[in-house]
Amino acid sequence: MPDPIISFEKVNKWYGNDFHVLRDIDLSVAQGERIVICGPSGSGKSTLIRCVNALEEYQEGRLVVDGIELGDDVKAIDQVRRKVGMVFQQFNLFPHLTVMENLTLSPMWVGKLPKKQAEEKAMQQLERVRIAEQAAKYPLQLSGGQQQRVAIARALCLTPRIMLFDEPTSALDPEMIKEVLDVMIELAEQGMTMLCVTHEMGFAKAVADSVIFMDQGQIVERNKPHDFFNNPQSERSRDFLSKIL
Ligand code: ADP
Ligand code: MG
């Protein structure tokens, strides 16, 4: 077995002194693996994936991302953020910048790429999410589904090794969910390592290698999608599934 690209070993995290939000998290993700994370609101899903790009710190255990051990080392945090792209529920685009400027900002200022190259790369990624014709527009001139695809393209401009998605379709009108999921499915098919917090179970069935079910800060179950849906292993997963399906 090759080394996992993400490895949590007995990771524990508290918010403040007494809120134990992640409990003994053990999780290995192989390169190219697609993981869907689900579970009730407040179970720690966002906190878990935010640890992977060091948006959250943890107090105990070990987390290694693409060979870099995350701890208090600021340099490690910087290195990891360049390898890990993240897409949020609220698209988090800069409203005063055009689509093109949103995509070239970080490659130019953090990646030190010349403007022309950054723009070429941005155009490639916009084509990949099928929105190249909107490059000169401002985010608020686009639909929610288009904005989310721009956010995905922006993350891809940094050539990430891992993509994190935190409920990327939850803020979208129903008719726009598919256009975003289609882009995510394509990414998955191209071999991207993905951790997706989502309750879109159709997506989980279509592309996930495993589904992880979290409750109260713990990973309660990790299973193949087919088995998770048809034969969940715990009372808590059964109860959750009965509410969302
Ligand atoms: P989920 O994404 O599964 O809904 P979260 O990871 O966002 O769960 O949150 C897990 C728990 O931690 C929730 O009870 C939430 O209120 C709490 N929480 C999240 N962020 C913070 C924070 N910055 N400070 C204190 N508590 C937080
Ligand atoms: Mg969340």
| pLDDT tens profile 37-90 | 999 999 999 999 999 999 999 999 999 999 999 987 888 898 999 899 999 999
Tens of pLDDT along 18-50? 999 999 999 999 999 999 999 999 999 999 999
Write out residues in the chain with pLDDT < 70, as ranges. Answer: 1
Structure tokens at 226: 């087919």
Say if ligand 1 is within 6 A of residue 41 CB.
yes
Q: Which of 137, 150, 154, 214 is nearest to 180 (CA)?
A: 150
| Residue 72 neighbours by CB under 8 Å, 6+ apart | 57
The dihedral through the CA atoms of 182, 184, 185, 190 has a sign that is: positive
Is residue 51 within 8 A of residue 58, CB to CB? The reply is: yes
Predicted structure pTM score:
0.96
Give pLDDT, residue 151: 98
Report whether residue 47 contacts ligand 1, using a CB cutoff of 6 Å. yes
Residue whose CB lies within 8 A of the most ligand 1 atoms, among 20, 21, 23, for a mutation test: 21
Angle between helices 144-156 and 115-128 (to 10 degrees): 130
> Would you say the ipTM is above 0.90?
yes
* DSSP reduced 3-state for 212: strand
Three-state DSSP at 81 gives: helix
**Which residue puts its alpha carbon closest to atom 21 of ligand 1?**
15
Residue 132: predicted pLDDT: 96
pLDDT at 73 (0 to 100): 81
Test site for ligand 1: of 11, 14, 15, 25, most ligand atoms within 8 A of the Cβ:
15
